[in-house]
């Protein structure tokens, strides 16, 4: 793969992985509500460490190919997709049609951020 593709592809791959970690950090404890809150916080912080080890370099590498607004938009679009999958598969909560419509509108908004490229 050409080096020119790395700054475009790496942030997408790394932000996808980082979002998976962060989604577990933020929402994974909801499957274990009987655990003490302090334990949920400590475990979440530990998981978030790995999210940061991917997100920070993803943004650093991605800044060679994308604007900051574009990087944030990529991250938010990935967050919605990861969260939707996580909610259904891990938490067992189906997505309501209205939620899907709302997510689609956010993704349409993301499209506009990249329109002037």
pLDDT tens digit sequence for 35-90: 999 999 999 999 999 999 999 999 999 999 999 999 999 999 999 999 999 999 99
Is the confidence at residue 2, as pLDDT, over 60?
no
Nearest to 79 by CA among 9, 16, 11, 21: 16
What are the pLDDT digits (tens) for 4-20? 899 999 999 999 999 99
Residue 73 has, within 13 A of its CA and on its CB side, a CA count of 15
């Amino acid at each position: 793969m050409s080096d020119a593709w790395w700054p475009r592809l790496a942030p997408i791959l790394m932000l996808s992985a980082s979002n998976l970690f962060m989604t577990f950090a933020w929402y994974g404890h909801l499957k274990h509500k009987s655990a003490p809150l302090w334990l949920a916080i400590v475990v979440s912080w530990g998981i978030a460490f790995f999210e940061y080890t991917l997100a920070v370099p993803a943004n650093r590498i991605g800044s060679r190919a994308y604007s900051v607004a574009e990087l944030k938009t990529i991250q938010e679009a990935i967050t919605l997709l990861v969260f939707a999958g996580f909610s259904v598969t891990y938490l067992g909560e189906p997505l309501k049609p209205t939620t899907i419509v709302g997510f689609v509108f956010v993704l349409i908004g993301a499209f506009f951020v990249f329109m002037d490229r």
